[in-house]
Every structure is written in C-alpha cells, then in structure tokens.
A and B are shown apart, each in its own frame.
Chain A
Amino acid sequence: MASVNVMRKVEISSDAVSVDGVALPVCGSGEAMLDWIYRTHVGGYPKYHKMDLLCKLGFIASELLLAGEDGRFVPRDDRAVILFNRTGSQCDDLRYLSTITEGEGYFPSPAVFVYTLPNIVTGEIAIRNKYYGETSFYLISGPDTWMMLEVAGQAMDCGGVSSALTGWVECPGEDKLECMMMLAEKTVNFAD
C-alpha cells in the first residue's frame, strides 16, 4: 500500500493563519479576516463574495495552500478534495433557518440554501482549480489527523489519484474558524 506525504499545510483559527508553520500577518478576525486575506492575497474571483462562512474558510485555505503551484489551473482529475468536520454546514443551516421563520418573515433563500451542504466547499475548490477528480466530505467527531490521512490515503490508493487536498474545515460557531488543510501526495513504497 502506498504511503502519504504531507507536502504543505495551512492552519487557520479565528484570528491567526500559518502556512507550513510560518505565521501569515493578518487583519481582523473571523469572516472579516478571511475577507481581508481574499482582498490582499487572492482577488479577481467575485464568486467568493457569494460563499457562506464554511466555503470562504475552505476556499481561502486552499488558495494559500496552492499559491504559486506549478501548473495550477490546468484542468486535472488526479487530485482529490476530501474534507472533514463535525457539524457539517451548521453555520449556514442556521442562517437558512432564519429565512424560513413563520409568518411574515418567510422568504426561503436559494442562495443561502445551496450552501446548506458541507460538500459545497469541495465543489467551490474544484470549480476554481478545474479539478475533475473525486470530491468528498465526511463528518467525524473531531480533527483526527490520522483518520483523515487514512481516508485520503485510501482514496489515493485508487488508480489515477496522485494527490489530495484534505483536512479539517469547521465553523463551530458564529464567526469562529477551525481549519487545518493539507496538500498530501502519494509516495510509492518501492519495497512493495
């Protein structure tokens, strides 16, 4: 069985960001911090503003992870996007719930409803980077790195998958961020 190497790692908390262990200077916290990072380090992708908090978090993490990658944006199907959290899309779920209150306040919003599925963040990353391979989202009880790399590794054992964007992307509360995203590659064990 092939083993998995973590090539790059991005960590985002509610008020701090680090890339491969090096702190990235940021402004603000929560969603405002993510928006600041978008304006300062990304830009030119207006779809960002439609995203819910979970998608913004996953999107920004992936942008920092993939910045400067050779051959980025060339369509490929050999990279999987496999992400995890505990509460799914709960942040956006609560927001959607507020659009369907009884009586006068009943205006169900399709733009909010579409984000009430956690896997949408994997779709946003796939659209942005032209990834035609596997995209998946799993719910587990906590950021168990070993389990996440095992699931991603098993996906990479399938023929034709050479790398994966994987890790924990969670919004445990209003404006609270927990993210640890890795770029993992399959290495072949020549002893096999």
Chain B
Amino acid sequence: MTAVCAADNIISPLGWTTEENIAAVLAGRSALMPHEWAFGLTEPFVASLVDRTAVSERFGAYAGMYTVFEQMCILSIREAVSAAGIDASSAALVLSTTKANVDSLGTPHYVPPADSAARIAAAVGVALPPLVVSNACISGVCAQIEAKRILAGGKVPAVIVCGCDVQSRFIVSGFQSFKALSPQECRPFDASRCGLNLGEAAATVVYVAKDRTQSGGWILRSGAVRNDANHISGPSRTGEGSYRALRHVTAGIAVEDLAFISAHGTATPYNDEMESIAIERAGLLGVPVNSFKGYYGHTMGAAGVLECILSMHAFDRGLIPATRGFGTLGVSRPVDVSAAVRDVPPRARGFVKLISGFGGCNAAALFLKGGE
C-alpha cells in the first residue's frame, strides 16, 4: 500500500489555488507587509494576512454561520476533493491547526477546535469523526504522516489532510512577548536574520491508497516525528530531534536522489542554526536547502502542508524554489541555500520536508515522485 497525493489546494494571500500560489512563489512574490495597529496591538509587525472579506465573499451563502478558520478550511477542502474526484463520505479527515478559532476566544462565538473540525467535516460531506492534529508548528507534516497510517489500516480509501491557522491578537502578542518577530521581512538562513514573520493560509492534500502496480504521482514514502527531549521552546543545540527524523526518512536514500530539503527556515537565529546542524549530522550537506517563510511567513498549522504542496509543484516544473530573503549564509554549517531559483538535478527523485515546533517536536517526511 502506498499513500499517493491525488490532489491539493492552497488558499493564501497569494491566491485561491495551488496554481496561483506556485506561480507567485516562482515569480518571487510575497504578501508579507507591515501592519500597524492590527488586532489592536501597538507594536507593529510584518505578516502575510488573508482578506477576510474576500474569503467570506468566496464562501458565499452561510458565510456568517462559520468562523474565518472554518471558511478557509471548507473552501480549500472542497477544491481539493473536487479535483481528486473522490467521494468525501467514505474518506477520513485530518485537520492540522495550532490555535484554530483562538481569535474569538473569550467571546460567546468561540468554537473549540474539535467542535470546529466536526462542523467542517459536516460541511464537506465527511461522515467519519475527524481527527485534529495539534502538535505545534509540525502539525501539518504530522497530519500527513497520520493520513499515511490511516490508509495503511485499510479501512478507508482516502484521507483529506487540511492545515490551517489564522492570525490574531492572541498569537501575534505571544510571539512579540518572545521577541521572536522580525520588524522587517524575514531572512531565512541569512547572516542578518533576526526573527520570523507570521502568516495565514489553508492548504489541503487528498491522499489515496494505491497499490504498488500503479505508478505516477507523488507518494509520501516515509515520515518520522522525534522529540529533542531538551527544552519546551528552545531548539536543541545539537538538532537532536531534527537529525533523528532526517536520519530515519533518508535511510537507504542517496544524496543525489534528493532535489532539495524544504527546511522550516523560520529565520530566527536559533532555528536556522539548529537545522543546519541537523542537516550536517544527517550527512545531507550536499542537498540544496530552501525555506518558504520569505513568501508566506510562518503559517503555523498550515505550514507543513502548504510547503509540501509547493515543493511538489516546484519539482514538477523542474525547479528548486528560491529562498526569498536570503543573502549571505549566516549559520555555522555550510548548507546550500540560494536566493535564486535553481534546476532540479536530473537524478533527483524527490525531496524532504523538515520542520520543528514548540514542545521540542520535530518531523521529517520523504516525498518521491512516481513510484518507490
């Protein structure tokens, strides 16, 4: 049994479809911009935020019955399910979100995440009880790994994975209290990087089980989640969890098989340094590295799904995405990052997604194109 990506969708400030988003990324566009007095906060911040009015308009009838978070999930899932041509009523749904509807916490309109998931499932025609992954910023990759496990169980023919988060006073102020935000557009892996930007998106992948005789399409070949067992918010100085996750998913894979590693690359001083250490420890310095945070900021629960979709579509076009915001290497290990779009080497068969989150968790996933 193989977990194959049947279809996908991205909703973000850069577009309503995967096509619009990948075109924007390859053209170097970003929706990162400064926001002053947003969410009633006095300290300005740079972020990539969706137009909530546009989302409601696109949602159409009954928009007022759903939260922004729910509208984005439903829109994205409907697109992907339609493109995949599957029957949602026999599929499972795995949602990935760090804070769901926290923008309305403390008001009578607040909907807890599991309840939101049930409303989303009902709106898109999924009959089985949904699962919500709430594993900090690695949720998007975890949700896809979970989809693969569900398919391996043999009880459902398809799993819809949707990652989404919306920004709010709650989240922005929290990152501000950590002094983790950059006052400008973020600079992943760069010598002058000083923090992350926040972002919003919904991203969906529909996974189906295909037996080994059918080839073509992207497969999620291997995934691993590992903890640093070190500190609940600071990255491990030895990149312990990231290294172990990378080692697991790249076992038996040659460096030349990998077009690139889509790193977490949040542009905080510690994260990018930690990832470079993990990549070196895993013997993968020869693999080009990129970060998408310069286009979307950190989209939290959506990031792990969004960035895998972009990676697949860039590879399909024979391209390694540029790391927007990168200039000069500013980490201690010589990882191969570039501010320019590059070509996928002819031997490459796929890419690795690497991601880390609060709670000391880390994940890696190996995606291969067209067969084992």
CB-CB < 8 A to A8: which residues of B?
A: none
B177 with A113: CB separation less than 8 A = yes
Is chain B's binding surface mostly helix, strand, loop or mixed? mixed
A121-154: CB near B (< 8 Å → 1, else 0) gives 0111011011111111111110010010011001
Q: Which of B29-37, B57-65, B227-235, B342-350 forms contacts with chain A? A: B227-235
B278-305: CB near A (< 8 Å → 1, else 0) gives 0000000000000000000000000000
A2 CA to B53 CA, complexed, in Å: 50
A67-89: CB near B (< 8 Å → 1, else 0) gives 00000000101000100001110
A90 sits at the interface (CB 8 A): yes
B149 with A155: CB separation less than 8 A = yes
B191 sits at the interface (CB 8 A): no
CB-CB < 8 A to A157: which residues of B?
A: 149, 152
CB-CB < 8 A to B114: which residues of A?
A: 86-87, 139-141
A7 sits at the interface (CB 8 A): no
Residue of A nearest to B175 (CB): A113
B131 with A94: CB separation less than 8 A = no
A134 CA to B344 CA, complexed, in Å: 32
CB-CB < 8 A to A150: which residues of B?
A: 153
B228-245: CB near A (< 8 Å → 1, else 0) gives 111111000000110010
- Within 151-175 of B, Cβ neighbours of A (below 8 Å) are at 152-153, 169-170, 173-174
CB-CB < 8 A to A62: which residues of B?
A: none
Q: How far is the CB of A45 from chain B (nearest CB, A)?
A: 14
B132 with A136: CB separation less than 8 A = no
* Contact among A100, A123, A137 with B232 in the assembled complex (CB-CB below 8 Å): A123
Residue of A nearest to B132 (CB): A139
A108 CA to B181 CA, complexed, in Å: 14
A114 with B229: CB separation less than 8 A = no
A30 CA to B196 CA, complexed, in Å: 38
A102 sits at the interface (CB 8 A): yes
B131 with A140: CB separation less than 8 A = yes
Contacts A97-B106, A120-B358, A122-B361; is A137 near B178 (CB within 8 Å)? no
A88 with B152: CB separation less than 8 A = no
B152 with A139: CB separation less than 8 A = no
B359 with A122: CB separation less than 8 A = yes
A95-123: CB near B (< 8 Å → 1, else 0) gives 01100101000001110011011111011
A93 sits at the interface (CB 8 A): yes
CB-CB < 8 A to A114: which residues of B?
A: 232-233, 358
A14 CA to B152 CA, complexed, in Å: 38
A120 with B105: CB separation less than 8 A = no
A164 CA to B100 CA, complexed, in Å: 27
B84 sits at the interface (CB 8 A): no
Contacts A117-B98, A127-B360; is A86 near B112 (CB within 8 Å)? yes
A138 with B129: CB separation less than 8 A = no
Residue of B nearest to A75 (CB): B229
A93 with B132: CB separation less than 8 A = no
Residue of B nearest to A81 (CB): B227
A170 CA to B147 CA, complexed, in Å: 25
- Within 1-38 of A, Cβ neighbours of B (below 8 Å) are at 1
A96 with B170: CB separation less than 8 A = yes
Residue of B nearest to A150 (CB): B153
A116 with B131: CB separation less than 8 A = no
* Contact among A88, A124, A126, A134 with B134 in the assembled complex (CB-CB below 8 Å): A88
Contacts A96-B174, A157-B149, A157-B152; is A140 near B129 (CB within 8 Å)? yes
Q: How far is the CB of B99 from chain A (nearest CB, A)?
A: 7
B361 with A127: CB separation less than 8 A = no
B85 sits at the interface (CB 8 A): no
CB-CB < 8 A to A110: which residues of B?
A: 174, 177-178
Q: How far is the CB of B11 from chain A (nearest CB, A)?
A: 22
* Contact among B99, B106, B132 with A116 in the assembled complex (CB-CB below 8 Å): B99
B98 with A93: CB separation less than 8 A = no
* Contact among A108, A127, A138 with B177 in the assembled complex (CB-CB below 8 Å): A108
CB-CB < 8 A to B105: which residues of A?
A: 90, 93-94, 97
Q: How far is the CB of B333 from chain A (nearest CB, A)?
A: 21
CB-CB < 8 A to A90: which residues of B?
A: 105, 112
B170 with A126: CB separation less than 8 A = no
B359 with A123: CB separation less than 8 A = yes
B341 sits at the interface (CB 8 A): no
Q: How far is the CB of B129 from chain A (nearest CB, A)?
A: 6
A117 with B359: CB separation less than 8 A = yes
A-B contact pairs, 25 of them (CB 8 A): A86-B112, A96-B170, A97-B170, A100-B169, A108-B173, A113-B174, A114-B232, A114-B233, A120-B232, A123-B232, A126-B228, A132-B227, A132-B241, A134-B225, A134-B226, A135-B359, A135-B360, A137-B133, A137-B135, A139-B112, A139-B131, A150-B153, A154-B146, A154-B149, A154-B152
Q: List 12 additional A-B contacts (Cβ < 8 Å) besides A117-B134, A132-B226, A135-B361.
A: A88-B100, A93-B105, A94-B106, A119-B361, A122-B359, A123-B360, A132-B244, A133-B226, A138-B131, A139-B132, A147-B129, A155-B149
